[in-house]
């Protein structure tokens, strides 16, 4: 498996192993949360303890009803982001506030599992994000939720009601209750997540600290069209890689548009693998490349939790695709994603999409030397674990193979 991953090969069995590893990690984090709550139980206010116990019981009941549906919620990217936040929060009010997020996970799980449930929830911030489903807003900050057969009735203190779920945005006549359901992207199960408050880290993305694009500025129609075309292009160029992207990408998080010209910014958050954070690419080729790039950040993030590839260290190194010096983990992440792009471009430049051929050939030649330099840095580093060194060695072999066999025909 390590060899296949190092060579960026899209193998269904390896993708399944990564999915299992991600789920095991989420279950471990949930157990860590339960252990921590037990350790500080005496210091928690009675209302916080009761809320946590009720949420945990609902999550257990949902899993007994439909374990696969609950797994989909637990493995959703923003669930990982929330778990990282709550486990890092210091004891006291900050931890207690973050702990309330378990209620959103439990309600989403029960809804997906088609459980029957009724619960009343205070919403101090006036919102209830349901991971992978949508976001409820309530002016009054307290709602009654009644779920049955995959549907849910929301009632506020004044008796206003909304029926959920469903894509798009709906609200009561006076706007006191509003629901923003996520749109599913064409041809799979990935969603365009433009509402979850955990979808982008608090500090934003990149040097410019870009925030997420809020609905209605996320342009679902444009993303859906670009997504459909990009996947068709990937499928025509490398069907196995298109299938891998479909399996690993759970959500696309639109970022605010760029201020000027240049390629779209994209990112994968280590605590939320499976989510592609990106500005809308200009065309299908750009999005296809972006998806392959970020999918490999997800693969490496999950793999490193399963088999650590590097040790803590402080060295910084220059790489061809960044202007700022990078630590060894950053060099490895970048080299791995660009090696996958080299593999993609080696196919695209002799593939069926004529408009992509010249672009792919140019990028292949430029990127091949950049990856070679990064692999040399990694090969000489003492910050890699034995598995990390083995991983880089197989990356190098695949890079050499591409350099020999991936030349244009004719």
Q: What is the 3-state secondary structure (H, E, C) of 338-373?
A: HHHHHHHHHHHCCCCCHHHHHHHHHHHHHHHHHHHH
End position of a domain, from candidates 181, 204, 237: 181
Domain assignment present for 13: no
Instruction: Note whether 163 and 101 are same-domain residues.
Output: yes
What pLDDT score was predicted for residue 76?
98
Distance of alpha carbon 160 from the chain centroid: 34
Domain assignment present for 249: yes
Q: What is the rounded distance in angstroms from the CA atom of residue 326 to the CA atom of residue 280? A: 26
Instruction: Note whether 264 and 119 are same-domain residues.
Output: no
End position of a domain, from candidates 181, 201, 232: 181
Instruction: Note whether 119 and 172 are same-domain residues.
Output: yes
135 bridge partner residues: 129, 180
Q: How far apart are the first and last CA of the chain?
A: 35
Instruction: Note whether 71 and 150 are same-domain residues.
Output: yes
Domain housing 243: 220-405
Q: Two tokens at 281? A: 């690419």
Domain assignment present for 8: no
Q: What is the pLDDT along the chain (410 residues), one digit of tens a residue?
A: 999 999 999 999 999 999 999 999 999 999 999 999 999 999 999 999 999 999 999 999 999 999 999 999 999 999 999 999 999 999 999 999 999 999 999 999 999 999 999 999 888 889 999 999 999 999 877 899 999 998 999 998 888 898 888 788 888 878 888 999 999 999 889 999 999 999 999 889 988 899 999 988 899 999 999 999 999 999 999 999 999 999 999 999 999 987 766 788 999 999 999 999 999 999 999 999 999 999 999 999 999 999 999 998 889 999 999 888 999 999 999 999 999 999 999 999 887 767 788 889 889 999 999 999 999 999 999 999 999 999 999 999 999 999 764 344 33
Whole-model pTM: value is: 0.94
Domain assignment present for 273: yes
Domain assignment present for 11: no
Going along 234-285, which residue ranges are E strands?
A: 251-254, 266-267, 275-278
Instruction: Note whether 148 and 249 are same-domain residues.
Output: no
Domain assignment present for 360: yes
Q: Two tokens at 291? A: 């998806």
How many other CB atoms are found less than 10 A from the CB of residue 24?
12
Containing H/E element for 87? helix 77-88
178 bridge partner residues: 137, 171
Instruction: Note whether 162 and 225 are same-domain residues.
Output: no
Exposure b/e, 182-216, CB count within 10 A at least 16 = b: bbebeeeebbbbbbbbbbbbeeebeeeebebbebe
Instruction: Note whether 229 and 130 are same-domain residues.
Output: no
DSSP 138: E
End position of a domain, from candidates 132, 161, 181: 181
What pLDDT score was predicted for residue 408?
40
DSSP 205: B
Instruction: Note whether 124 and 225 are same-domain residues.
Output: no
Cβ contact 185:179 at 8 Å: no
Instruction: Note whether 124 and 60 are same-domain residues.
Output: yes
Instruction: Note whether 171 and 296 are same-domain residues.
Output: no
Instruction: Note whether 394 and 326 are same-domain residues.
Output: yes
Domain assignment present for 35: no
Instruction: Note whether 129 and 71 are same-domain residues.
Output: yes
Domain assignment present for 192: no
Handedness of CA 390, 395, 399, 404 (dihedral sign): positive
What pLDDT score was predicted for residue 406?
39
**Domain count of the chain?**
2
Q: What is the rounded distance in angstroms from the CA atom of residue 350 to the CA atom of residue 322? A: 28
């Amino acid at each position: 498996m390590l060899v296949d991953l190092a060579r960026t090969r899209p193998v269904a069995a390896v993708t399944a192993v990564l999915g299992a590893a991600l789920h095991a990690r989420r279950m471990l984090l949930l157990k860590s949360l339960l252990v921590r709550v037990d350790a500080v139980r005496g210091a928690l206010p009675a209302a916080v303890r009761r809320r946590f116990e009720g949420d945990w019981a609902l999550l257990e009941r949902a899993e007994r009803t439909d374990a696969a549906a609950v797994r989909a919620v637990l493995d959703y990217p923003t669930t990982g982001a929330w778990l990282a936040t709550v486990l890092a929060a210091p004891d006291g009010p900050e931890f207690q506030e973050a702990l309330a997020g378990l209620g959103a996970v439990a309600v989403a799980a029960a809804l997906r599992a088609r459980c029957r449930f009724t619960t009343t929830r205070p919403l101090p911030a006036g919102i209830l994000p349901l991971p992978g489903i949508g976001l409820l807003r309530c002016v009054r900050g307290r709602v009654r939720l009644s779920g049955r057969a995959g549907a849910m009735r929301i009632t506020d203190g004044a008796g206003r009601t909304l029926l959920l779920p469903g894509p798009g945005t709906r609200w009561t006549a006076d706007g006191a209750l509003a629901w923003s359901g996520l749109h599913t992207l064409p041809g799979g199960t990935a969603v365009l997540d433009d509402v979850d408050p955990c979808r982008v880290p608090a500090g934003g993305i990149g040097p410019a600290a870009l925030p997420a694009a809020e609905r209605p500025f996320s342009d679902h129609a444009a993303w859906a069209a670009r997504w459909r075309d990009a996947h068709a292009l990937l499928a025509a160029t490398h069907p196995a890689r298109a299938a891998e992207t479909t399996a690993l990408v759970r959500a696309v998080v639109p970022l605010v548009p760029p201020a000027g010209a240049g390629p779209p910014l994209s990112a994968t958050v280590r605590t939320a693998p499976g989510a592609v954070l990106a500005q809308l690419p200009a065309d299908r080729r750009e999005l296809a490349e972006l998806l392959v790039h970020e999918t490999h950040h997800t693969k490496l993030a999950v793999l490193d939790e399963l088999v650590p590839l590097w040790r803590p260290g402080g060295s910084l190194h220059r790489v061809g695709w960044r202007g700022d010096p990078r630590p060894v983990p950053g060099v490895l992440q970048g080299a791995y994603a660009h090696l996958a792009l080299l593999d993609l471009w080696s196919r695209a430049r002799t593939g069926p999409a004529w408009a992509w051929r010249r672009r792919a050939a140019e990028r292949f030649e430029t990127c091949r030397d950049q990856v070679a330099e990064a692999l040399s840095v990694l090969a000489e580093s003492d910050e890699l674990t034995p598995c990390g060194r083995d991983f880089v060695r197989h990356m190098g072999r695949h890079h050499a193979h591409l350099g020999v066999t991936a030349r244009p025909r004719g």
